[in-house]
A and B are shown apart, each in its own frame.
Chain A
Amino acid sequence: METLLFILVGVLGIIAIVQAVRVFEISARVKGDDENKVSDKDNRTQGLLLLLFLFFFLGAFAWMVYSWDSVILPKAASLHGADIDSLWAISMGVIIVAFLVTQPLLFGFSFLFRGSKKRRAVYMEHNNKLELFWTGVPAVVLAGLILYGLTTWSETMNPSPEDEPLVVEVYGYQFNWKARYSGTDNKLGYANVRLIEGVNQLGLDVNDVSSLDDKVTNVLHLPVDRPVMLKFRAQDVIHSAYMPHFRVQMNAVPGTETQFQFEPTMTTAEMRQDPEVVEKVKNINELRSAQGKDPYEFDYMLLCNKICGSAHYNMNMKVVVQTQEQFDKWLQEQKSFAETL
C-alpha cells in the first residue's frame, strides 16, 4: 500500500511538472511572434547568468577547498609517499592555475561578447603566433611534469635491492585478507590454492621447509622505518590492496604474484597524535556520537579496491605500524605454520 502511494505521488509529481511546463509553453506561444528566436534581451540575460555562474563556481570551489580540507587524507606515512605528495602538490598547483585562468576566460568572454543586433563579430581565422604560444606553454609545462612524475614513479617502483626488506605476503579472498610472515628465514614458503586444505587456508606447501616457520595472521603488523616488501596473492578473483595512508596500491591477481615495496615512517601511535588526524577523528566522532555509535580510533587500513563481489565494500584489514621491538614481540607470539598443523 505504502509502495503504491509512493509511486502515485511520484507519478503525480511528474505530471505536475509536465503540466507546469505546458502552461509555460502555451503562454510563450500566446505572447507572440517567434518565441524561439534568441533576442538581444535573451543574450543579455544568458550572458549575465554565465558570468554569475562563474562567480558561483569559483565561490563554491573555494568553499569546498576550505570546508572539506579536513576530510582528505593526512600526509603520507611512508618514505615514497612523501615524494608522491610533493609531486601531487605541484601537479595540483599546475592544474588549479590552468583552471583559474581558463574558466574565467570562457565565461568572461561569453558575457563580454554576448550578441547584439548592432554589432558584428570580428573575422579571425587563425593566428600562428598565438597558437604556437599555447601549444608551446603546455608542452614545456608537461615536459617538466612528465620528467618529475617518471622520476618519482621509477624511484617508487624500483627500490634498491640492497634494502633487505622484510618480506610479507598479503593474501586476498572473498571477502577478507590475511598476512603471512616469512619467519626466521625471511623466505616465504611455496603456496598454491590447490594445496588449500582444512586449517591450511592459504595453501602452503607442507613439503617446503621454508613454509614451516611462516606465520599467518589476520592483522598486518609492520615495523616502522624498515623497508617492507609486500607480495600479493589472490585466491579467487582480482582484489586490490589499497593502503591510502601509505600511498600504496597493488592488485592481487589470481595466478600471478605482484609486489610493492615501501617503508612506513610513522607508527600508528604517532599517527594518532598527528594534528591533522586528531582533527579528523574529532569530526568523525562528533558525527558518530550523534548517531549513537561507538567512538572511533584512528587505524591504518588496507582496503579492497577492485570490485570483487557482494561484500567488496567490507573487505579490509587493519594495519598496525609499531616499533621494531613491539613488532618482534608481537610476531613472537604468533603461531608458526608447523605449530598450527
Chain B
Amino acid sequence: MEAHAHHKENFITKYIFSTDHKMISKQFLITGVVMGIVGVIMSLLFRLQLAWPNQEWPIMEALLGKWAPDGVMDPNMYLALVTIHGTIMVFFVLTAGLSGTFSNLLIPLQIGARDMASGFINMLSYWFFFVSSVIMLASLFVESGPAAAGWTVYPPLSALPEAMPGSGMGMTLWLVSMTFFIVSSLLGALNYIVTVLNLRTKGMSMTRLPLTIWAFFVTAIIGVLSFPVLFSAALLLLFDRSLGTSFYLSDIMVAGEVLQNQGGSPVLYQHLFWFLGHPEVYIILLPALGISSEVISTNARKPIFGYRAMVGSILAIAFLSFIVWGHHMFVTGMNPFLGSVFTFTTLLIAIPSAVKAFNYITTLWKGNLRLTPAMLFSIGLVSTFITGGLTGLILGDSALDINVHDTYFVVAHFHIVMGLSAIFGLFAGVYHWFPKMFGRKMNKTLGYLHFWVTFICAYGVFFPMHFLGMAGLPRRYYTNTAVPMFDDLTNINVLISYFAILGGVAQVVFLWNFFYNAVRGRKAEQNPWQSNTLEWTTPVEHIHGNWPGELPEVHRWPYDYSKPGMEEDFVPQTVPLTEKEMQTGH
C-alpha cells in the first residue's frame, strides 16, 4: 500500500479506471445524480398525464416522439415511464448512488484504512454499474419501447412480448442491465464486508464504529444474501422468454394463440423477486439512517442516544427483513396461514423502527443544534421515516392490505418511508461530506432554499396520495378518467402535480450548488463540522492511502460531543483517554 502512495498517475488511471475509493465514490455519486435526473424527469412527464389527461403537451411529443402522438402520452409509454422511473430510483439512485457513494467514501476513511480491501474489485464494481446504467438508458431507445411491466416485472406480462410492446427487446435489455447491476452490487458489498472486518485501524473495535459504518456493513451483508436470489429470478425469466422453458408460465392464451408452456407458476417469480425486493428496502434505507445518525449527532453536539440500541435495531431490522417478503403477496392467493405468519413478522419490524425514531428525537433533546442543510435534511428524514413507517402498520396487516393493496396508499407509503427518507439521507450525506469529497464547500443559503422547497413539495406530493388510496384508486392507471367513481380525485391529482413540478425544478438549485462548488467553491478547512470521526483527520487534498504518515490510532468511540470536563465540545477518536476518563471507565 505504501508504495502506491507515490505511484505515478495519468488522467485515465486517476479519473476513469481509478482504484482509489474516494474517486470511485465520486463516480458512483455523479452517475447516480445523472440517473436521478432522468428518473425525476420521467416522473414529471407522467404527473402531467395524470393531472391533465388527454391534454396536448408539445414537450411530450418532443421528448417521447412516436410515443406521444400530438403531445398525448401513449398508455404503453405511461407504463414504461413508471417502470423505468421505479427501476432507476430504487436501484440506480438509491442503491448504487447512495450506498455506492457513501460506503466507498466513508468505510476506509472512518475505520482508518488506506483503501478498500481490493481496489481493483472496487473499480470493477463501479464499471459494472456504469455498463448497467448505459444499457438501461439504451433500452429507452429501442423500437418497441423500454420495459413496461412495472419495476417488479412480474411474469407472465414481462415474459410475453405478445402481451405488451414493452415486453419485447426493452425487457431483454432490462434483464441484462439488472444482471450487470447485481454483479456490481455483489462486488461492492463483498469488498465492504471484508474491509470492515479486516482493515480497521488499531483501537477501532466494532463497538467504536460510527453508526454509518454499522449501517453500511449490515447493508452489504443483506445485499450479499439477497441479490443472488434476484439474479436467479432474472435468469429463469430470461429462460422463459428466450429458451421456451416454463418456470413461470402455465396455461396461457395470449393474442389469440395458446402457448405450450405448462406447469410453471407466476407466483414463484414473486417469491424470488420479493426475497430480494423486501431486503432491498433496507438496503436503501439503512445507509440513509446511518448517515443521519452521524449528521444528527455531530450537529446536535451530543452523543447519538442509545448507541447499542441503534446497532441492535439495525441488526434486528436486517434479520427481520428476510422473513417478511410475503407481505407483498397477501392477495396472490397464497395460503392464508402463510399470510398470518408474514403479518406477524412484518409488524414486528415496527419495534426496532420505533426505537430508532425515539432515539433520534432524544438525541435532539437538550442538544445545541447547529441547523446546517445536512442537519435539516436529517431532521426531514426522521419526519418522513416516522410518517411513512406508520402506514406500514396498515399495509403490513394482511386483513387491511386486502383493501389498499396496489392502490395509491401503497405509493404514498413506500415513497415517503423509503424514497423520501433515503433521498433525504443522500442529500444530508452530500451536504455533510462535500468538503471531504471535493475539498470545497457548498453554499449554505442555497442549501436552505433547496431543503425547504424540496421538503414541502415532497410531502405535498405524497401525503395526499393516502387519500387517493383510501378512495380505492389503483396505482399504475394511465388515467383515472375511465372510471367515473374517481372523477372527484382529479383535483387532488392536479395539486400533487403542481407540487411535483415545483419540487422537480427546485433540484436545479441543488445541481448548480453541487457542480459549481465542486469546481469553484470556497476551499474547505480540514474539520469543518468539528466532528470526531477519522475522515476529518485526513488532509483536505486527497492522497492515495488517505493518511500521509502512520495510520491514526483510535482511543474512544465517535460520539464524545459536549463531554463534561473537556474544553472543546468535541473529542476526536484519536485523542487518548484522559486520566479521569480512565478511572471512571468512560
Contact = CB atoms under 8 A, between A and B. Distances in A.
A154 B448 CA distance: 50
B309 A284 contact: no
A3 interface: yes
Residue among A34, A235, A310 with max Cβ neighbours from chain B (10 Å): A310
A327 interface: no
B563 A123 contact: yes
Contacts of B267: 253, 256
A45 to B, nearest CB: 8
A329 interface: no
A102 B362 CA distance: 11
B543 interface: no
Interface in A1-54: 2-3, 5-7, 10, 14, 17-18, 21-22, 24-25, 28-29, 34-38, 42-43, 46-47, 49-50, 53
B163 A110 contact: no
Contacts of A253: 265-267, 332-333
Contacts of B488: 70-71, 280, 283-284, 287
Contacts of A150: 340, 343-344, 398-399
A310 B250 contact: no
Interface string B553-575: 00000010111100001000000
A180 interface: no
A121 B371 contact: no
B354 A134 contact: yes
Contacts, number: 403
B169 interface: no
A95 interface: yes
Contacts of A107: 379, 383
A-B residue pairs, 8 tightest by C-beta: A255-B250, A258-B333, A244-B472, A157-B336, A46-B371, A313-B477, A121-B562, A95-B390
Residue among A107, A113, A149 with max Cβ neighbours from chain B (10 Å): A149
A255 B476 CA distance: 24
Interface string B504-548: 010011001100100000100000000000000000000000000
Interface residues of B, number: 133
B164 A134 contact: no
A240 B331 contact: yes
A209 interface: no
B472 A125 contact: no
Contacts of A81: 403
B463 interface: yes
Contacts of A299: 485
Interface string B42-67: 00000000000000001101100000
A235 B348 CA distance: 38
Interface stretch (B126-134, B150-158, B187-195, B199-207): B150-158
Interface string B290-332: 0000000000111101111100000000000000000000011
B374 to A, nearest CB: 10
Q: Secondary structure of the A side of the interface?
A: helix
A316 B484 CA distance: 12
A76 to B, nearest CB: 8
Contact of B62 (A6, A28, A235, A250): A6
A193 to B, nearest CB: 4
A6 B472 CA distance: 36
B394 A92 contact: yes
Interface in A203-241: 203, 232, 235-238, 240
Contact of B484 (A14, A46, A121, A296): A296
Contact of A103 (B383, B477, B492): B383
B473 to A, nearest CB: 9
Contacts of A235: 252-254
A166 interface: no
Given A21-B512, A94-B393, A109 B562 contact: no
23 contacts: A14-B508, A18-B508, A25-B445, A29-B522, A38-B370, A72-B470, A87-B399, A95-B393, A98-B386, A109-B365, A123-B561, A131-B359, A142-B347, A145-B347, A150-B398, A157-B339, A253-B266, A255-B264, A287-B487, A309-B163, A312-B75, A312-B476, A313-B480
A269 interface: no
B483 A303 contact: yes
Contact of A193 (B160, B253, B357, B397): B253
Interface string A134-168: 11001100100110011011101110000000000
A219 to B, nearest CB: 15
